[in-house]
Every structure is written in C-alpha cells, then in structure tokens.
Amino acid sequence: MLSIKRVPTVVSNYQKEETGEAAAGGCGRNCLKSCCIQGARLPLYAFKKVDKVCGNELPLLGCKEQHPVAFLDSLVLGEWEDRMQRGLFRYDVTACETKVIPGEYGFIAQLNEGRHLKKRPTEFRVDKVLQPFDENKFNFTKVGQEEVLFQLEASNDGEVQFFPNAPIDVENSPSFVAINVSPIEYGHVLLIPRIFECLPQRIDHASFLLALQMAVEARNPYFRLGYNSLGAFATINHLHFQAYYLALPFPIEKAPTKKIAKLSGGVIISKLLNYPVRGLVFEGGHTLEDLANAVSEACICLQHNNIPYNVLISDCGRQIFLLPQCYAEKQALGEVSPELLETQVNPAVWEISGHMVLKRKKDYEEASEANAWRLLAEVSLSEERLLEVTALVFQAITSSVEMNVKPQRLEEVDAVSPNAQHAMVAGSHECLVLQ
C-alpha cells in the first residue's frame, strides 16, 4: 500500500461558537459581520478572464507540466500554510494516516477521527435541496477575518493583479477564499461567492463560473473543487465550494465514459461507466462560459426538482462530474444497512470521487475496494432513475442551449458490467423527486 508523507502542523481549536451580542467596537471575534467589518482590509487577487480551459490538447493530469507554478496556486498554499502555523485549524490533518487501497480503481482511504469529533453539525433538513438562508444559524459571515485568505474577483483590465492589503467593498459583496477549519486534506479551502449577499447553498450561473475560473487559474491538476448540495451532505446553508490538494488521481477521474450528447457550444456530455455511482461528465466547450452554463443549468434543474447532487471540478477545470445521489433519503427511510451506517461515513463529493474519509480505525484497517464499492453503490441512483433525471437535465439545458447532437436514450448506452469483485448492486429504492 502506498503511504503519503505528511508534514507537521500546529493543532488548535481556534474557531469557537459565537457568544453574546456585539459589544462596542465589535463582537470581539474580528468577524465578517457589520460589527467588525468596517475599515477591514484583506489581500485581493484579480484573475485574468479566460476563454478556454487550459488547452484541450492537454492530457489528463497534464496541466502542471505545461506551465510554471501559477501565482494563485502559490497564494493559496502560502496563505494556508500561514494559518496552519498560526494554529487556526481544529485538528492536525497532516497527521491523518492515508493509503491507497489495492485494486483496479485505487480508492484512497484516510483515517480522520478529528473531523468526526470536531466538525460542525448539520443544522437544517436533509430532505429539501433548496432552503432559505437563516442568519441565526452558522454562516460564513460569523468566521474570524483571520480565516479568510484573500478576496477573489475578475480583473478589470484583463491582466492578473494582486493587492496585498485591499479594502473590503461590502456593498459589492466580494467573493472570499477561506480555510476550512475542519480540513480533509492539505490546502483545504472554501470558495464563498458574494459572501455578503448571504446566498443559500444553491448553484447559480455566476457562482459556478467563478468556481470554474478558480480551477483554471490555479493550473494545478491536483487542486480540485467540489460542491455538495443540501441533502447531499452539505453541512452549512451558505453558498460555498470546497477545494483541496491531493497528489493522486481520484478513482472517478480514471473511470471510463461514453458520450451521449454534444451541445452547439461544443460541450460534450458523457455517462460514467464501470463506476459505483452513476453520473454525468461535462467536458469541452468553445468557451469557458459554454461549459459553465451547461453545468449550472443542469444543477439548477436538479435543485428545482429537489434532487440532491454533488459536483467535482477536475483536471484544471476541463472535466466536471455531476452526480445526483440518494443516500440521505435512503438513510431516512431505513434502507441503508446497519453495517454501513455504523461507519458514520457521509458520502459527499470527496467520498463519491474515491477519497474515502473514514472515522474509525477499524474501517481504515479493513479498507478494501469491495467495501468502498459497496458503500458508494448505495449512494447511486438506479439506471432507470438516472435515465429520468438525465431527461430532466437535457430538457433544462436545451431550453437555453441548442444541441446539435441528439442525446441517446441511456438504455441504448452500454450497460455497466462490474468486475467480479464488484458484485454489489445499489439498493432497490427508487429516489423519487420530492415535492
């Protein structure tokens, strides 16, 4: 088994629950709310708008070899390391054991007992993908300014700009990049679009384009962005994406795909094959906005139909996985086996992608490809349900984007034929659209 070397860090339980009302001169926590934000300054990174994704000729995991280290990449890591040295994390993620599980797919297992004990609990219903923002519950305006790494926006003059000490324009609601105080991996950060608009956890066109631009700008194939909807293990109802570094390919990135449609804007939509979680893959596009619009239309469709989902932005923004799921619903209906429930693993975007964050030493020691496959198979929609959901997605996309290739019916696409060691099937429950 391959072990991944770690470096030491400082451990702290810095982020505490907010207490009391704001006192004169602020609440005492140096937070992002009106009591403390006046006159505050933070670094500002203004990225150059790009039209295309890192060059379509680049191979998978090949972006970094084609470019010098990007400034955004260095900025994220440098600022994250600074917060690590200042002790702003709830536990030492670099001390977590990690290994690659033997097998065809190379699932990655991490033992992270600290995240289970110290992660903020979910504070909202899991059966509603769209829920209104509630300022009384935890949201990112309540974090300390020390946790914010920098502001992120598009450059006005078409060139990259960096201002190490820029004022915060609250009226125009900037987007922030902040640390995740309960990290899964090295460099684990949060992208919080238009933070002061206090948007609930739902994707829109502008926010998804920003996330895609961040992936392209980082120019590092080991830096992926992920998104969890409510009902698919998002724990905070304030719009955010997650991102971190892992210098290994995710198993989902290695899974075969089959093309099922192409849009007039050049975006190719494929179906995942031979992977325990069924889903769609978006690639290509004449412009970055073509790709962003296609994916965001699909996400908006799922949100409006109350279908929980996860998104992985991979390969410097060239490949996007859209993964509708039903684990929380099956869990609520008592259709998940006690054995899987006892692991207390919540299969969100990273687990679905093949990075299994395990909370018990027993599960880590007994980790196997068969066990990973069995858990993820419970997350997946059935083939029949995916067909219905894909039809909804295509209808939504075609209402705004003309398709020049008629999508195949999914039952006409080659069926998944798992290997003998993957002889597990998804539960029988059909994940119905909740009204």
Residues 140-186 have pLDDT tens digits of 999 999 999 999 999 988 789 999 999 999 999 999 999 999 999 99
Question: Which residues contact residue 25 at a Cβ distance below 8 angstroms, ignoring those fewer than 6 apart?
Answer: none
Catalytic residue among 188, 238, 240, 355: 240
Work out the average pLDDT over 316-339.
94
| Pairing state between β 267-272 and 280-284 | antiparallel
Evaluate whether residue 389 is within a structural domain.
Answer: yes
Evaluate whether residue 97 is within a structural domain.
Answer: yes
Tokens of 78: 């440098």
Work out the average pLDDT over 247-276.
96
Evaluate whether residue 24 is within a structural domain.
Answer: no
DSSP string, 223-272: EEEEEE-TTTT---SS--EEEEE-SS--HHHHS-EEEEEEETTSEEEEEE
**Taking the mean position of all CA atoms in its chain, how far away is CA 392?**
23
Work out the average pLDDT over 270-275.
97
Residues 77-97 have pLDDT tens digits of 999 999 999 999 998 898 999
Given a cut of 90, whether residue 45 has pLDDT beyond it is: yes
Number of domains present in the structure of the chain: 1
| Mean pLDDT of all residues belonging to the chain | 84
pLDDT of the residue at 124: 62
Work out the average pLDDT over 408-414.
41
* Contact present, 432 and 284 (Cβ < 8 Å): no
pLDDT band at 238 (very low <50, low <70, confident <90, very high): very high
Work out the average pLDDT over 273-289.
97
Residues 374-408 have pLDDT tens digits of 999 999 999 999 999 999 999 999 887 655 544 44
Tokens of 402: 């003309």
Evaluate whether residue 2 is within a structural domain.
Answer: no
Work out the average pLDDT over 69-75.
88
Instruction: Give the Cα separation of 234 and 41 in Å (integer).
Output: 29
How many C-beta atoms lie closer than 10 Å to residue 424's C-beta? 15
- pLDDT above 90 covers a percentage of the chain that reads 72
The CATH number of whichever domain residue 363 belongs to comes to 3.30.428.70
pLDDT of the residue at 61: 42
pLDDT of the residue at 405: 47
- Most confident range (mean pLDDT) of 2-11, 13-22, 417-426 is 13-22
Evaluate whether residue 365 is within a structural domain.
Answer: yes
pLDDT of the residue at 434: 33
User: E strands along 334-415, which residues?
Assistant: 355-358, 403-405
- Unique residue bearing structure tokens 């700008």: 217
Q: Is 116 in the active site?
A: no
pLDDT of the residue at 435: 29
Evaluate whether residue 19 is within a structural domain.
Answer: no
Evaluate whether residue 432 is within a structural domain.
Answer: no
Given a cut of 70, whether residue 62 has pLDDT beyond it is: no
Q: Which residue has the higher pLDDT, 3 or 345?
A: 345
Domain that holds residue 328: 42-415
Evaluate whether residue 309 is within a structural domain.
Answer: yes
pLDDT of the residue at 49: 79
